[in-house]
Amino acid sequence: MRRLTAILLLCLAATPVRADEGMWPFDHVPVAAIQKQYGVAITDRWLDHLRLSTVRLRGGCTGSFISPDGLVLTNHHCAQDALVEHSTPQGDLLADGFLARTRPEELRCTSYEVDVLVGMEDVTAKVRAAIAGLGEKAANEARKRVLTQLEKACEDAARKDPKAGPLLCESVTLYQGGQYYLYKYKTYDDVRLVFAPEYAIAAFGGDPDNFQYPRWCLDMALLRVYENGQPARTPNHLRVDFAGPRDGEPVFVSGHPGSTDRLLTAEQLKTLRDLEQPVRLLLRSELRGRYLQFAKQGAEEARIVQDPLLNVENSLKVRRKELDALHDDDLFAAKRREEDSLRAGMALHPDLQVAGDPWREIGAAEAAARAQWVRHDFVEEASGFNGQLYDFARTLVRGAAERAKPNDTRLREYTDSQLPFVRQQLAAATPVYPALEKLRLAFSLERLREWLGPDDAFVRGVLGDESPDALAARLVDGTRLADPAVRRRLWDGGVDAVKTSDDPLVRLAWQVDPEARAIRKRWEDEVEAPVTLAAEKIARARFHVYETSLYPDATFTLRLNFGAVGGWLEDGVPVPPFTTLARLYERATGADPFLVPQSWLDARPALDLATPFNLSTNNDIVGGNSGSPLVNARGDLVGLLFDGNIHSIAGSYWFDPENNRAVAVHPAIVREALTKVYRAEALAREIGAAE
């Protein structure tokens, strides 16, 4: 750990453009640094083509077009909701995989929406103007209002412009408030499942191997976007180079890193370290135990809990390693040094002098945050009310009340820009399993009572004289929200329909809503408002000192990262960057999760065992980059990002160039799989994997 730390100190002290590190917005790519580091000349045309070939999966992933007919390559784990939607006890697509041999066989994924970033507009000056001179609470409200107004105006303008067509306009906060942008997306809401391999080969090694390397995972899936019932025309798409990259070759990742906290202050990290991470870890760890035990009750229980179990295990591993990273006292020391240095710079420079000390202001707000955190998390963030059914009820209740208000005074998740996706999620044919819903709701109600206390007035109001188990059973048995048609009717019926509904879950959500809104308002006023205002001041100081050599924290918006294929030294032992197919068969034990599926056992004689399987690179990626294309200097796809190594998890807080590695599926194994294992001839031809 000592060695890492020394490098960390360098990073934080200097923060120049470093090789490999950084998640760069496409309009601020450090082309000179790339030229210098790798000798690759990046042009605007190259960037535009890559941007328009990259897609965002609204659920939290990335993908890329790899054919002119709207074919999207992404990860198997990004297609899980689609596989689950079409699974039954008789046909488990998550376990068994899926292949549409013809386009009519492609399966509509009703919860999916795919976005392509077609424009970016800097609106920082407009936001600054709207909040100028306001106190922190008023500024916080005004800031949200102007962002909603800007989004609305952008969408209205696009709708009127015959060249643009309808767009989704979303505001983006970069550098913790240093910049505000509008990101403009062309969206596709007709997304269909084309191909997925078996879970056992997609996630070979399962949870034990998750975030490990070397790996042998065919973590791929193919989707297709449709327009007007036909495969969409996608002239911007990536050519696949099935030979893949060489060791050391420069490679680029285009994708949507979800969230990092590299620019947070020490006091903000302390809230994460002492409160958020431990509490979330405890809750998820217990939930994992409940899921695992539930799965042992039978094959059907195992099937329905598999997807949520995967999610909770992934989250546990991430948070566990994040907590380890936060326990490095040197991280905090380095943060404080950077703060001192910026503070000194601010004092010296007349333009940067501000009233008060923004770090101290954040410190005071974080003390308030820590006092409110548990209640806010359980009541407003719904840690106390788990499950899809409750989520539906909450969305119906909140959505009905919010839609009755003018657009720019609504909670930001219910603005006109967001409503189509909210409705789509509500109306999607998401499977609901009552036994699982009872487990989740009872678990969360029990923990609500534990963390707020059995004598808390809100808890008593929710539970009355019932036990968490009894209440959850009564609510799940009594609700009709498992039916998408019921949800759609309630949504479309608006506030009257929801208010008069006698559905017991809707009633509970109504009961919870006032307290949840009050807690949220207090959090916004006492935490979010001062933190945002102070963070804007710090961001201005950072810009002054570092100019454009600084990249913003990840915000699930499109970023480019540059790096190279390579392994690393683990405890002094080299980890090579490529794995090959032969080792998959050697590593198999025959027992889950090291089980090779029958299709791969059958095809083995025909396969080239020297085929590269997975590869590692030093690209700077985090969750949300899943499914990102890895491209070479020509812009050809040479890998499909699906994971990072264990050191990459600390990337939430800092980038470690020595050890942080991204992990991708090699295109050669994609060709081998499609042509020889799954005999998906038409698809193979479509992406150039076969004649």
CA distances from 171 to 52, 116, 307, 471, 645 (A): 19, 15, 31, 40, 32
Enumerate the H helices of 349-433 as residue ranges. 358-375, 388-403, 419-427
Q: What is the Cα–Cα distance from 421 to 170, expressed in whole angstroms?
A: 13
Residue with Cβ nearer a copy of itself (307 or 636) = 307
Residue from 183, 294, 385, 642 in contact with a copy of itself (CB under 8 A): 294
How many residues of this chain interact with a copy of itself, rule: CB under 8 A? 44
**Amino acid at the residue 672:** E
Q: What share of the chain is helix, strand, coil (3-state, %, to 5)?
A: 55, 15, 30
Count of residues making up the chain = 691
Residue from 108, 126, 137, 288 in contact with a copy of itself (CB under 8 A): 288
Closest CA to 154 of 118, 179, 112: 118
Taking the complex as a whole, the smallest distance from the CB of residue 591 to a copy of itself amounts, in Å, to 4
Residue with Cβ nearer a copy of itself (520 or 587) = 587
Beta strands in 142-236 (DSSP E): 168-174, 179-188, 190-196, 221-227, 230-231
Sequence-distant (6+) residues with CB within 8 A of 691 are: 685
Taking the complex as a whole, the smallest distance from the CB of residue 6 to a copy of itself amounts, in Å, to 16
**Amino acid at the residue 209:** D
Tell whether residue 281 is a contact of a copy of itself (CB under 8 A).
Answer: yes
Residue with Cβ nearer a copy of itself (40 or 588) = 588
Biggest CA–CA distance in the chain, Å, is 73
Residue from 248, 453, 461, 478 in contact with a copy of itself (CB under 8 A): 453
Residue from 293, 353, 548, 598 in contact with a copy of itself (CB under 8 A): 293
Residue 71 β-bridge partners: 224
Residues 460-479 that bind a copy of itself (CB under 8 A): 465-467, 469-470
Residue with Cβ nearer a copy of itself (61 or 584) = 584
Tell whether residue 121 is a contact of a copy of itself (CB under 8 A).
Answer: no
Tell whether residue 289 is a contact of a copy of itself (CB under 8 A).
Answer: yes
Site string for a copy of itself, 312-341 (x = CB under 8 A): ----x---x--xx--x--------------
Residue with Cβ nearer a copy of itself (282 or 429) = 282
Residue with Cβ nearer a copy of itself (256 or 273) = 273
Tell whether residue 522 is a contact of a copy of itself (CB under 8 A).
Answer: no
Q: What is the DSSP string of 36-53?
A: HHH-----HHHHHHHHHH
Name the one range near a copy of itself by CB under 8 A: 47-55, 333-341, 450-458, 669-677: 450-458
Residue from 549, 594, 681, 682 in contact with a copy of itself (CB under 8 A): 594
Residue from 27, 69, 96, 207 in contact with a copy of itself (CB under 8 A): 207
Site string for a copy of itself, 211-250 (x = CB under 8 A): -x--------------------------------------
Q: What is the Cα–Cα distance from 357 to 348, expressed in whole angstroms?
A: 14
Residue from 16, 135, 208, 356 in contact with a copy of itself (CB under 8 A): 208
Q: What is the Cα–Cα distance from 81 to 388, expressed in whole angstroms?
A: 13
Tell whether residue 290 is a contact of a copy of itself (CB under 8 A).
Answer: yes
Q: What is the Cα–Cα distance from 604 to 600, expressed in whole angstroms?
A: 6
User: 68 near 233, Cβ under 8 Å?
Assistant: yes
Site string for a copy of itself, 248-277 (x = CB under 8 A): -------------------------xx---
Residue with Cβ nearer a copy of itself (214 or 667) = 214
Residue with Cβ nearer a copy of itself (419 or 575) = 575
Alpha carbon 231 to its chain centroid, in Å, reads 26
Residue from 573, 590, 610, 691 in contact with a copy of itself (CB under 8 A): 590
Alpha carbon 494 to its chain centroid, in Å, reads 30
User: 332 near 271, Cβ under 8 Å?
Assistant: no
298: three-class secondary structure by DSSP = coil
Tell whether residue 450 is a contact of a copy of itself (CB under 8 A).
Answer: yes
Q: What is the Cα–Cα distance from 427 to 481, expressed in whole angstroms?
A: 11
Residue with Cβ nearer a copy of itself (109 or 312) = 312
Taking the complex as a whole, the smallest distance from the CB of residue 294 to a copy of itself amounts, in Å, to 5
Sequence-distant (6+) residues with CB within 8 A of 141 are: none
User: 597 near 232, Cβ under 8 Å?
Assistant: no
Segment (H or E) for 139: helix 136-160
Name the one range near a copy of itself by CB under 8 A: 203-211, 341-349, 576-584, 600-608: 203-211
Residue 229 β-bridge partners: none
Residue with Cβ nearer a copy of itself (375 or 537) = 375
Dihedral sign, Cα of residue 591, residue 595, residue 597, residue 602: negative
Task: Supply 299's token pair.
Answer: 């094959």
Dihedral sign, Cα of residue 415, residue 420, residue 426, residue 430: negative
Tell whether residue 353 is a contact of a copy of itself (CB under 8 A).
Answer: no
Q: What is the Cα–Cα distance from 642 to 81, expressed in whole angstroms?
A: 16
Taking the complex as a whole, the smallest distance from the CB of residue 324 to a copy of itself amounts, in Å, to 8
Name the one range near a copy of itself by CB under 8 A: 229-237, 405-413, 445-453, 475-483: 445-453
Sequence-distant (6+) residues with CB within 8 A of 54 are: 62, 63, 64, 116, 117, 254, 255, 558, 628, 629
Taking the complex as a whole, the smallest distance from the CB of residue 438 to a copy of itself amounts, in Å, to 9
- Angle at which helices 468-478 and 434-452 pack, to 10 degrees? 140
Residue with Cβ nearer a copy of itself (293 or 598) = 293
Residue from 24, 26, 443, 613 in contact with a copy of itself (CB under 8 A): 443
Residue with Cβ nearer a copy of itself (295 or 545) = 295
Site string for a copy of itself, 155-194 (x = CB under 8 A): ----------------------------------------
Residue with Cβ nearer a copy of itself (463 or 640) = 463
Chain positions contacting a copy of itself, by CB under 8 A: 205, 207-209, 212, 273-274, 278, 281-283, 285-294, 296-297, 316, 320, 323-324, 327, 439, 443, 449-450, 453-454, 465-467, 469-470, 589-592, 594
